[in-house]
Amino acid sequence: DTWSQLCMACVEPLLLRGEAQRALHVLGQVGAADPDTWSQCIRLFDEHGALPALAESVPVPPQGVALPREVYDLVLARLAVVAPAVLRATLGTWPSSVYSVPPLIE
């Protein structure tokens, strides 16, 4: 779809150059709102080691679009590995209804 293509075309080159903040700015400009595009962007940021930079921009209800629970779980699981401090901050801002608690306990 068009949003996904735009995300890959504009965001990935920035991430390849280590410009996560510019990539975040592009995401904000594009206004990606559908869950599939967000899922792809989350994976893309994670692949390039920039997931901690994206975490605070991941949409959560009621302010943003609700993503599938698995997407939130993936973000939290990866943050637990790559950025525990960002994980703690993210848990403080996301409603507990969007993610699964048991995997975090394990």
Q: Which of 66, 70, 55 is nearest to 24 (CA)?
A: 55
Nearest-angstrom CA–CA distance, 41 and 46: 8
- Helix ranges (DSSP H) in 1-106: 2-16, 20-30, 35-47, 51-54, 69-82, 84-93, 102-105
- C-alpha span between 64 and 95 (Å, rounded): 12
pLDDT band at 106 (very low <50, low <70, confident <90, very high): low
Residue 33, pLDDT above cutoff 80: no
CB 77 within 8 A of CB 51: no
Full-prediction pTM beyond 0.75? yes
Model confidence pLDDT, tens digit, residues 42-69: 999 999 999 999 999 999 988 888 899 9
Q: For residue 17, is pLDDT > 80? A: yes
